[in-house]
Chain A
Amino acid sequence: MNRTILALLLDYHRRTLGAWVLLVCVQLMQISAIWVLSKDNLPIVGAVIASLTFCATWDSPHLAMRTLPITRAASTWAG
C-alpha cells in the first residue's frame, strides 16, 4: 500500500476513534431503549441529537489537509 495512503488511513482512524466509540454507545443506547420501552421512535431522536452535537463540536481538519501535498480526492476523503 502507498505510504501516503497508509499514513492517512492510520491518522484518520486515530483522529476519529472518539466518533466510533460514540457511535457504538449510541447504538447500545438505542438497542437498550427499544428493548426496555418498546418505543421504536425514541432512540432515533437520541441518535439525531448525538449526531447534531457531534457535527457542531467537530472542528474539521479539511483546510489543513488541503495544504498537504496529496491529491484533492485524498484530502477530501481524509478530511
Chain B
Amino acid sequence: MISMRGVEKYYVPEEPALAEVNVEIEAGEFVFLVGHSGSGKSTFIRLLQRELLPTGGQIIVAGQDIVRLKNWKVPYLRRNIGCVFQDFKLLPNKTSYENVAFALEVIGRSKHVIRTQVPEVLRLVGLEDKMESYPDELSGGEQQRVSIARAFVNRPPILLADEPTGNLDPATSLGIMSLFNRINKTGTTVLVATHDREMVDSMRKRVIALESGHIIRDQHRGVYGYGD
C-alpha cells in the first residue's frame, strides 16, 4: 500500500531531514512511527500526502508513483488518504456534522451521500449525540473524534495521523487509539506518528523508529524503545 525506496529529503544541504528511507507497508497494516521531535516523523507523513516532494527516491502510495504524479492529480491521491492532526484542524463556525459534511461536499459528493454517510461515521466515532455541537462546545478528545470522522468519512484505504494524541490526556488518548484500531479492523491501513510511549507499548503493533532522519528500527509487535 505504501512503498518508499531510497527516499531522502533535504530542507538545507548536508542536513537530511530524512535519508535512506526504505519502507514497505502492506494493505491493512497498523504502523506506529516513533521518534523525538525533529527526527523526521512529520516530514515522513507530509511526503506521503505529497505536501512535500522528496529530494531523491521513489514513493508509491496506493499504486501511484506520487513523485511523478501530475499536480492536477494530487487532489485525487488525497481522496485516498485520510489525515488526522494534533491540532484537529476543525472549522470553528461549523458544527461536527457540517465539519464532516464539508469534506464530502468539496469533493463533489451528492447531498444524498452526505446525508447517509455523515451520521454513520459520527456514530462510528461515538459522537451521535454531538452532531449539532460546535468545536468549542466539545472536549479535546471529542474534537479529535470529529477530525477522525472527517478523515474516514470518504472510506480512504489509508489513514495518516500526525501526533493525534499530542494534545490529549492519557485516558482520552486510549479512546482515540482504540478508535484507530477499529478503523484498522475495517481493512484500512493506519500510520500513526507519535511520541506517546505508553500508547505504543500497550498496542504492540509494528513500530518504525526514526532518529535524525534515519530508520533505526523497524519491528513487528514492537515497543517505543527509547532509553529516555
Do A and B share a complex? no
Chain A interface residues toward B at CB < 8 A: none
Chain B interface residues toward A at CB < 8 A: none
